[in-house]
Structure 1
Amino acid sequence: MARSIMIQGTMSNAGKSFLVTGLCRIFRQDGLRTAPFKSQNMALNSYITADGREIGRAQAVQAEAAGIPCSSDMNPILLKPASETGSQVIVNGIPRGDMSARDYFAYKRKLVPDILAAWNRLSREYDVIVIEGAGSPAEINLRKNDIVNMGLAEMTDSPVLLAGDIDRGGVFAQLYGTVMLLEEREKARIRGLIINKFRGDSRLLDSGIRMIEEKCGIPVVGTIPWTSADIDDEDSLSRRLGKRGGNGGGAAVIRFPHISNFTDFHALEVSGIPVRYVSRAEELADPDEWKTPDLLILPGTKNTVGDLLWLRETGLAAEVLRFASSGRPVIGICGGYQMMGEILDDRGGTEGGEPGRMLGGLGLLPVRTRFTAEKCRKESRGRFAALHGTFAPLSGLPAEGYQVHMGMTERCGREDSPLVLLEEGGREVPDGCVRGNCAGTYLHGVFDAPGIAAALRGMIGTPGQLLPEEEDYRAYRERQYDLLADTVRANLNMDAVYRMMGLERPGGRK
């Protein structure tokens, strides 16, 4: 059976996902078959496995860092918020329905068998499992029936490393307060403290480290500096979503209230296309404050109908139409593609609204969407169709990614064409739609394949290239995992980590 180590944090966005990713890479480098595990994840950024199951994006990234295919066993429970008080509950990669927070809190203990079954399958296949907690283990109102922090550590008999975020201040209070709010048996599971996201000379922390070790009775096993490693982030607190302004030009992404899979645009960023997120009409309308972007993107969303209404309420819908009328390119992905159509048919109330609702879209593409209870989940690959006009530079290039959406969309115009042709059952199936300077697709990750970002740069006239000419986006990601692993390895006491797991540290890389 596998040995395990668990990373918990003093708060959300303390860097747990990055630390797990770094450790997955380190153990892979050390020759150990390694898998990530997060029993319950709440995220709108998701990923589809090869067998069509949906998991949190972070676990897919961690699996990639470990050099293994991702599976739903790595994230048996995924919660996708659909409103302020409710989420879609996905178990073993399959939607089980929508629940309010109160209902899910009462229900979640019934999912323990699913969690342990997934854990046991991984444990039989791998040498090491690196576990990620969620939020903070010191949420005393949530301690009862915990299945993701100390409750999971006890179920799997895993040692815990507790990480605090020094970048947001008060790291010693974070660590001390968290430890002191735990029960004695839970404190005993914490085998080391980590100070994460440090900037500057770590020697300035020496006296504070001695004091926190004395007060908590737990050693500090690492001070991890802020790293330049560029890793996909799934958290709603991601710094990427705060990108506004800049020097203008580039791509502007509408920041919907329920934006999902914003990792779709990482490939554009690393190829040299500036990406910023807009949530107010004036960010597109005011030429004095915000230079007009070269490309506008409507991204995916967990609540297409609700976010389309928001788009209209904020005045952004009018600005999207104004932008499209200027002749500059507009691209919609998944929910954004659905919004660009003529009709959104939610008469069954699938999107959480009142049954019987029919809503007019933005009218930029001649497509109509009918929402159904069945969720499309699959990996897809193919090629861009033979395109003309604005999107001609994409013609024939590889198209690959994954689909995860409610609803079916059909083209209903004459002066339009599919954006991509996907391989299904030995034939090419059209997906998406192009009309003039507007295009849409259901394909998440559509910008990741070789040549796509470069074609978009040429299409919108963005100069420069950040990637070496011989390197594609996949190679770039691999290089970032190595960079993150080097940072973690150099600043975390790996000898102590191996001892916690009851393993002898392999020779070679230090």
Structure 2
Amino acid sequence: MNGIMVQGTASDVGKSLIVTGLCRLLANEGYAVAPFKSQNMSNNSYVTIDGKEIGRAQGVQAEAARTEASVWMNPILLKPRSDQHAEVIRFGTSYSTFSGKGYRDSFYQMGLHSIELALNNLQKDYDVIVIEGAGSPVEVNLKERELVNMKVAEMADVSVLLVADIDRGGVFASIIGTLELLDPSEKKRVKGIIINKFRGDPELFKDGITWLEERTGIPIVGVLPYVDHRIEGEDSLSINDRFASKKGSIDIAVVQLPYVSNYSDFEPFQHEDVAIRWIQHPIDIGEADAVILPGTRSTMSDLNWLKARGFDASINDFVTRGGSIVGVCGGFQMLTNSIIDEFGSDTGKSDFSAEGLGIIPASTTFHEAKTTIRVSGKLHPSTNLAFMISGYEIHLGETSFSKPDDKPFLQLDDGRSEGYYGEGGKVIGTYIHHLFHNDDWRTDWLNCLRIQKGLPIQNRVNRSQLKEITFETLANELKPHLNWNLIKEILFERDYK
């Protein structure tokens, strides 16, 4: 297999971003390239064209590679449901829920088979596979039955690039320590080292490069600058990094639920005059122009968290005072009057129910089967707006209204009326993820907030065009700092002896 694997000395060292950049660089040279991550743990999902669920990062990497995302690119997705349990998505479909120990004991052989099948299918259709690892390859307590680092490099028979984050400090120790803990056969696969997130004068690091190459016998194939990118993040590790420093005249408070999912819903605000604040306490709502309840992997658990912190009273008071609120997916469910979990699909307890926040006159009932589908349509005629909408649904259960025609938000192409649009658009609930990725709709919604503040309206920002520019910018920023010819030699290499 022609491919290369990007592993890291730790989590959040920049593996996903580097894989994204490599995919675009190879695609620019005419290769048919596919990203691959055998096992991803994230509540940030991507729905493929055939309605299957994979990790968001692999979907974005496929876009960078100019190809259609598929389940072969992420055969195993783990979605945390609690501190000790996660739902296992296998080839885009819910397989089971395991504890950490149960997963290692019961799923390992199935996992190996799934990875092998996925790699074989990708190899048929692509010239090059760029593989992403997870965390560190030398977690000694987990290494014996790992499914995402050196075992995958062995199965794919590819070389490894080891990435270290110099910005967090201790880069020399992290690199040497990682290499020392690898088995000799694993260490032979590491053919290059990348120093990521470098700030300052590269001349001052030349001695460090020389020391590392002499100490390890492995070339430094890149010293990458700290890139202020706009590529969608993979998981909650990067939420605050992604949004904290963004300033703007429109203030939107997004409740940071413990099991928040699909926060890529709000990435388009990065290109607008908007400040996103992730809040965990009711007092932080402050004078927000809008509040958003995002999706969640555990609606009931996060609803209890909201109530325990007093968000229920604060959100109701915010709406009563004329504030604008949007509930997306699980956030939409929480805004309804009641939530019923008949089969224990969300809580694990059958016939469980709870009162919602009571802002939307509807009730939510969880079902056993999950809905995952791409959708398109337009705003419902009752809204008096004519915007086209596309996005995707990933959710358990359905929400039904007191009246069948009670203020729907969308009219989908499949004939369904969807969501809720009340108080002239100040209260919105929907199951549609990536609602704000629709440029016309997002612009109109933000302009309504601007008008309320006495601010001038702004023109439409073309999100799709900006995304393509972002991929190209990333590739152009990384390439001068990579030994690109050596990386391509390593990519096609086969000697690990």
Assess same fold via TM > 0.5.
yes
1:307/1:443 CA distance change after superposition, 3 Å? same
* 1:271 Cα deviation after fit: 2.2
User: What's 1:262 paired with?
Assistant: 263
SS in 2 for 1:407: strand
1:111/1:245 CA distance change after superposition, 3 Å? closer
Q: Is the 8 A contact 1:271 1:465 kept in 2?
A: no
Q: Map residues 65-214 of structure 1 onto 2, 5 A cutoff.
A: 65-106=64-105, 107-214=107-214
1:429 paired residue among 416, 423, 432: 416
CA RMSD of aligned residues (A): 1.8
User: What's 1:39 paired with?
Assistant: 38
User: What's 1:277 paired with?
Assistant: 278
SS in 2 for 1:50: coil
**Aligned counterparts of 2:296 and 2:437: Cα–Cα separation in 1:** 19
* 1:109 Cα deviation after fit: 2.7
Which moved further from structure 2: 315-324 or 345-354?
Answer: 345-354
1:92/1:414 CA distance change after superposition, 3 Å? closer
**Aligned counterparts of 2:75 and 2:159: Cα–Cα separation in 1:** 21
2:474 paired residue among 474, 481, 484: 484
1:16 maps to a residue whose letter is K
User: What's 1:439 paired with?
Assistant: 428
* 1:242 Cα deviation after fit: 6.3
Deviations 1:387-406 (A, max 9, x none): 55xxx6xx111111100001
SS in 2 for 1:231: coil
Q: Which runs of 5+ in 2 are unaligned?
A: none
User: What's 1:501 paired with?
Assistant: 491
1:382/1:240 CA distance change after superposition, 3 Å? farther
Residue identity (%): 38
User: What's 1:457 paired with?
Assistant: 446
**Aligned counterparts of 2:235 and 2:171: Cα–Cα separation in 1:** 20
SS in 2 for 1:144: helix
Is 1:324–2:330 an aligned residue pair? no
Which moved further from structure 2: 130-139 or 379-388?
Answer: 379-388
Q: Is the 8 A contact 1:383 1:398 kept in 2?
A: yes
1:419 maps to a residue whose letter is F
User: What's 2:20 paired with?
Assistant: 21
1:62/1:464 CA distance change after superposition, 3 Å? farther
User: What's 1:298 paired with?
Assistant: 293
> Following TM superposition, where does structure 1 have runs of at least 4 consecutive aligned residues deviating by more than 3 angstroms?
239-242, 244-249, 413-416, 462-466
1:245/1:382 CA distance change after superposition, 3 Å? closer
1:304 maps to a residue whose letter is T
1:241/1:355 CA distance change after superposition, 3 Å? farther
2:323 maps to a residue whose letter is R
Q: Is the 8 A contact 1:248 1:293 kept in 2?
A: no
Deviations 1:367-426 (A, max 9, x none): 1111111000000001111355xxx6xx111111100001111122478311111111xx
* 1:451 Cα deviation after fit: 1.0
1:386 maps to a residue whose letter is P
1:142/1:486 CA distance change after superposition, 3 Å? same
Q: Is the 8 A contact 1:241 1:277 kept in 2?
A: no
Deviations 1:93-118 (A, max 9, x none): 01001100110011223221111111
User: What's 2:215 paired with?
Assistant: 215
1:306/1:244 CA distance change after superposition, 3 Å? farther
Q: Map residues 343-354 of structure 1 onto 2, 5 A cutoff.
A: 343-354=338-349
Q: Map residues 52-63 of structure 1 onto 2, 5 A cutoff.
A: 52-63=51-62
* 1:329 Cα deviation after fit: 1.0
Q: Is the 8 A contact 1:294 1:460 kept in 2?
A: yes
Q: Is the 8 A contact 2:42 2:79 kept in 1?
A: yes
1:110/1:235 CA distance change after superposition, 3 Å? same
Which moved further from structure 2: 107-116 or 363-372?
Answer: 107-116
1:141/1:97 CA distance change after superposition, 3 Å? same
SS in 2 for 1:51: coil
1:464/1:118 CA distance change after superposition, 3 Å? farther
The aligned length equals: 486
User: What's 2:401 paired with?
Assistant: 411
**Aligned counterparts of 2:112 and 2:158: Cα–Cα separation in 1:** 16
1:259/1:464 CA distance change after superposition, 3 Å? farther
1:265/1:118 CA distance change after superposition, 3 Å? same
1:385 maps to a residue whose letter is H
Deviations 1:320-367 (A, max 9, x none): 111111112110000000000011001321112432211110011011
SS in 1 for 2:372: strand
Q: Is the 8 A contact 1:78 1:89 kept in 2?
A: yes
